[in-house]
Structure 1
């Protein structure tokens, strides 16, 4: 589908377009991200040194409370995620409704004509850097730091940066899903940090959404691979991207499912697990790191 065909249908319904969105130039950001692609490896390296070095440093020291800072941090991330979702969902819905599944998976938006979604997609990728700061609260508050937590942070940052440089069309699915889940999840974390007590079923819903996100992520990659194999349709996603994304989403699903089974169903729960799941740490989406276990 060419640009003229795309423009025949009324574009996404944005109630208002801000000046900074209108001035967004996707070619410049893509060029910058491509030129500085090694930065994400530096960020991940520094992150790993800080969190494990920090754990060693804190081992013989009293934990920090940081509840006020944590409340502010989660509130800011919740607000950012809500805004991001409201600014990217219209384009996603517009494409899916007017052009169907194939277009949503294989054809990137003409971002020069949809700068709103383009800007917030870029913000989504960049946000994976400050989100590394989630783990600082775990380390300073001396809470359990599990493999899934830091593995998720590292792989999401690397994959998101890589996909942006390729303008991967299927990324619209991943961006909207992630913004949506984070909107609910960080709002929940903020309430917990403020000493509110949301019912446990909310955390179960969040965990369910996270697992659903992994299943949909795998399905999108399978569909993209099938489109590529047809060799008769245009599909803007590389085979290496599909392989990396599929491995990432599948590994997340396995790890989150295992966590869900232990946290909610009590399967194979050891003495250390019981201690970990006590005092409000009994759910995958909440106070296991006080709100720092999340899905892509």
Structure 2
């Protein structure tokens, strides 16, 4: 009985979700997805121009704004992970793993449709992460800005076509970000967090890339089978595979350099 009540609560469609017009959102993205290119170019100009501007200037502290920023994104990601995750969990239980991959109802289902669009749109304000790095004069690594730009471009490009696999991609990202931004909130608030937590988050990011690549392989395989259950485009699968593979390499390299290499250095010292 309690499990049924929890299920009803998590799958309940709230008023703002009911009012959301997914068809209008998809149409808007079909007409405007290329604006992500403008946002990406503006982002690159601002962060590298900002680094030049800050070069001879004193760093900003910005600790309180950073706590609020990270906390807001953590709450957004947690709610998004719960709402989309429960939808995907029910697809898995009722229709199996293959249907969870091939499912396109994620984009217009009562509970998940709003969060699918919110996920895509959120990739623009998430660019603000880098502003804190630049203004606080912290190290800006290639993985950080490359990841922000390519995720923005890919999600806007993909949403308009409502391709198979999107439910997995978005739910995984929401879930990883729920952990990541919660961690950032604690760090910004100067709360001691074990090193193992940072390692865990990087491992979840690596697993996300492995699963993302695997999903692409399955979508391609089932598209070629001619059963008609999976729907995507070769262009989308190609760029998605390139993106996930590059992320996998970069995150594995980051994990090695940040945790394995540094641990080895400490032992040598």
* Normalised TM-score (structure 2): 0.92
Matched, 1:35 2:31: yes
Q: Is the 8 A contact 2:164 2:219 kept in 1?
A: no
Give the whole-Å Cα distance in 2 for the aligned partners of 1:157 and 1:17: 27
CA 48–98 in structure 1, closer or farther in 2 if over 3 Å, else same: same
Q: CA RMSD in A?
A: 1.8
Residue 18 of structure 1 corresponds to which residue in structure 2? 14
Structure 1 runs (4+) greater than 6 angstroms displaced: 267-270
Pairwise CA distance, 1:110: 6.7
Instruction: Give the whole-Å Cα distance in 2 for the aligned partners of 1:111 and 1:252.
Output: 25
Distance 1:159 1:269 in 2: 37
1:131 matches 2:130: no
Call closer, same or farther: CA 1:267–1:254 in 2, change over 3 Å.
farther
- Correspondence 1:44 to 2:40: yes
1:60 to 34, 56, 59: 56
Q: Which residue of 2 aligns with 1:188?
A: 183
- Give the C-alpha shift of residue 115 in structure 1: 2.3
Cα distance change on mapping 1:202 and 1:225 into 2, 3 Å? same
Structure-2 separation of matches of 1:116 and 1:73: 26
Listed one character per residue, the Cα deviations across residues 128-161 of structure 1 (whole Å, up to 9, x for unaligned) are 0000010000100111111111100000001001
CA distance 1:94–1:158, shift in 2 (3 Å)? same
Shift of 1:269: 9.2
1:63-212 to 2 correspondence within 5 Å? 63-109=59-105, 111-112=107-108, 114-212=109-207
Q: Are 1:262 and 1:269, in contact at CA under 8 Å, matched by a contact in 2? A: no
CA distance in 1, matches of 2:176, 2:21: 27
In structure 2, relative to structure 1, the CA distance for the partners of 1:162 and 1:117 (3 Å cut) is same
Q: What CA distance in whole angstroms lies between the structure 2 residues aligned with 1:125 and 1:97?
A: 26
Unaligned runs of 5+ in 2: 1-6
Q: Which residue of 2 aligns with 1:292?
A: none
- For 1:191, what is the secondary structure of its paired residue? helix
**Equivalent residues of 1:25, 1:115 under 8 A apart:** no
Q: CA separation in 2, counterparts of 1:42 and 1:138?
A: 21
- Alpha-carbon distance between aligned partners in 2 of 1:268 and 1:19, rounded to the nearest angstrom: 51
Cα displacement (A) at 1:212? 0.5
Instruction: Kindly tell me the number of residue pairs found equivalent between the two proteins.
Output: 259
Superposition TM-score, scaled by structure 1 size: 0.84
Partner Cα distance (2:227, 2:16) in 1: 39
What's the offset of the Cα at 1:234? 2.7
- Structure 1: how far apart are the matches of 2:43 and 2:106? 35
- CA deviation after TM superposition for structure 1 residue 15, in Å: 4.9
